[in-house]
Amino acid sequence: MAHRNLPRPAAVYGIDIGKNIFHVVGLSCDGTPVQKVRFRRDTLLQFFARADPSIVGMEACAGSQWLARKIQALGHKVRLIPAQFVKPYVKSNKNDIIDAEAIAEATTRPTMRFVAVKETDQVDLQALHRIRDQMIGSRTRLINQMRAFCLEYGVPLRQGAGLFKLDLPHALNDEENDLSPAMRRLLGDLFADLSRLEERIRQVTMEIEAIADREEVARRLMTIPGIGALGATAVLAAVGNGLQFRKARDLAAWLGLVPRQYSTGGKQTLLGISKRGNRYVRKLLVHGARSCFRHLDRTRDRLGSWLDGLEARMHPNKAVVALAAKMARIVWVVLNKSGALYERRDPAFA
C-alpha cells in the first residue's frame, strides 16, 4: 500500500462502493475532509485493518452487506444508508469522491435512518425467497405463453394454474381440435418444462418450511393469524431481530403499510398507503391478511370484533390493509419480546 494511502486519524469514513474500485473519504470530528483515497477490492480491507476504530458509512446496495460484516470484524462501527437519503448531501457535480464525501456527511446526521447489517443466515434465507418468487413469476409467464399459443389455434383453456394443468393434456390428446403437429410437440416440451419448474418450486418451498420449523422465533411468528412459514421466514430474512425499529409502528411504516402524508399549514392530509420498503414482505402480509379476513373464526379470536368494526365502516380492501398493518405491529412485539406469542383470548372467557 502506497504511503499516501495509509489511514489518517478520522472520526468517520464514507465509502462509495464499486465492483472493483472503491473511493473512501475520511472526515474529522468537525466534518472537515482529512483524506480522499481510492482502492481496489483487495486493498480496501487492508486500509481499514490499519485504521483506528471509527464510524464507516456506505450506501445499502449490492455487496454492501458482505463489506459491512468484514469491516465490523475489524473493530469499526458500520452504518448502511439507503441511497435516496444520501442524494441530498451530494453538492453540485457528481463523481465517486463527491459521493463518498456525501455518504460520510450523511452518516454523521443524528436523525439519519440506517439499514441493519444482515447475518449470513439472513442473506441465505432471503436468497431462497427471491429464487422462489422468481420461479413463480417464470411459471406464470410460461403458462400464459402456452395459453396464448392454444388461443392461436382456437383452443381456450381455463384460467388458473391448477385448471390449466388439467386442461392442457386433454387439449394435446384431442385429435379433433386444430392444433398442428408442430404446435403439439412444442406445447408438450413446454409442459415438461412447467413440470420441472414446479418440482423445483416445491423443493425450495419445503426447504423454507423446514427452516421455519427449526427456528424458534419463526414458530412464534406463525402463531399470528395470517402468517405461515413463508411469511415468518420472510420477516426473519428482512427484519432480523427488529431492534432497528424503535416501536411497532416504525416496522409497519417501513413496510409501507401506513398512509402517506401531505400536510401543511396545520391541516392534516392522509393519502393511500406509502408502499415503501420491502415489497415482498408487504405482499405476503397483505395476502395473509386477506386470507385471515375471510376465514378467521371471529367469534373465537380477539381480532374478531375489531375486524367486524372495520368491515362495517370501510371497503374490504382497506380493512385487509389495516389488518396487515396490525399484523406487522404484532410481529414487532413477537420479535422484541422473548418468548412472546399471539394469544387468541377467546372473548367468551376473557
On the question of pLDDT at 20 being above 90, the answer is: no
Name the helix (H) or strand (E) containing 259.
strand 259-261
* Average pLDDT score over residue span 161-185: 91
* CA–CA distances in Å: residue 172 to residues 131, 147, 153, 179: 31, 12, 12, 8
Q: Euclidean distance between the first and final Cα of the chain, in Å?
A: 69
Place of cell 389488518: 323
- Percent of the chain having pLDDT more than 70? 97
Distance CA 11, CA 260 (A): 36
* Average pLDDT score over residue span 109-134: 90
* Average pLDDT score over residue span 173-184: 90
Closest to 286 (Cα-Cα) out of 261, 255, 310, 264? 255
- Range with top average pLDDT, 142-146, 156-160, 263-267: 142-146
- pLDDT digit string (tens) for 269-293? 777 788 888 899 999 999 999 998 8
Distance CA 292, CA 319 (A): 11
Pick 189 or 295 by higher pLDDT. Answer: 189
Q: What is the DSSP letter of 347?
A: G
Q: What is the mean pLDDT of the chain?
A: 88
Place of cell 414482505: 281
- pLDDT digit string (tens) for 332-341? 999 988 888 8
Distance CA 264, CA 91 (A): 28
Place of cell 376473557: 350
pLDDT of residue 348: 54
Place of cell 439472513: 122
pLDDT of residue 230: 93
pLDDT of residue 62: 85
Taking a C-beta distance cutoff of 8 angstroms, is the pair 331, 227 a contact?
yes
Phi/psi at 28 (5° precision): -80, 180
Residues near 67 by beta carbon (within 8 Å), at least 6 away in sequence: 15, 17, 44, 58
Distance CA 75, CA 177 (A): 71
CB atoms under 10 Å from CB of 301, counted, come to 19
pLDDT of residue 349: 52
Question: Secondary structure of 9-68 in the HEC alphabet?
Answer: CCCEEEEECCCCEEEEEEECCCCCEEEEEEEEHHHHHHHHHHCCCCEEEEECCCCHHHHH
Distance CA 343, CA 23 (A): 51
pLDDT of residue 1: 54
Cell of 221: 411468528
* Average pLDDT score over residue span 167-189: 91
Residues near 7 by beta carbon (within 8 Å), at least 6 away in sequence: 26, 35, 47, 48, 50, 51, 52
For the chain, which residues make up each domain, given as ranges? 8-107, 120-214, 220-349
- pLDDT digit string (tens) for 82-99? 988 888 888 888 888 888
Give the residues across from 13 on adjacent strands.
26, 56
On the question of pLDDT at 209 being above 70, the answer is: yes
On the question of pLDDT at 3 being above 70, the answer is: no
Closest to 62 (Cα-Cα) out of 127, 133, 136? 127
The CATH class of the 8-107 domain is alpha beta
* Average pLDDT score over residue span 97-102: 89
Q: Model's pTM, two decimal places?
A: 0.84
pLDDT interval class at 133 (50, 70, 90): very high
- Percent of the chain having pLDDT more than 90? 42
- pLDDT digit string (tens) for 247-263? 888 889 889 888 888 88
Distance CA 241, CA 13 (A): 27
Pick 4 or 159 by higher pLDDT. Answer: 159
Taking a C-beta distance cutoff of 8 angstroms, is the pair 99, 25 a contact?
no
The three-point CA angle 207-211-216 to 5° equals: 165
Dihedral sign for Cα atoms in the order 328, 329, 334, 340: negative
Closest to 306 (Cα-Cα) out of 261, 344, 276, 279? 344
Dihedral sign for Cα atoms in the order 118, 123, 126, 130: positive
* Average pLDDT score over residue span 3-29: 85
On the question of pLDDT at 127 being above 90, the answer is: yes
On the question of pLDDT at 151 being above 90, the answer is: yes
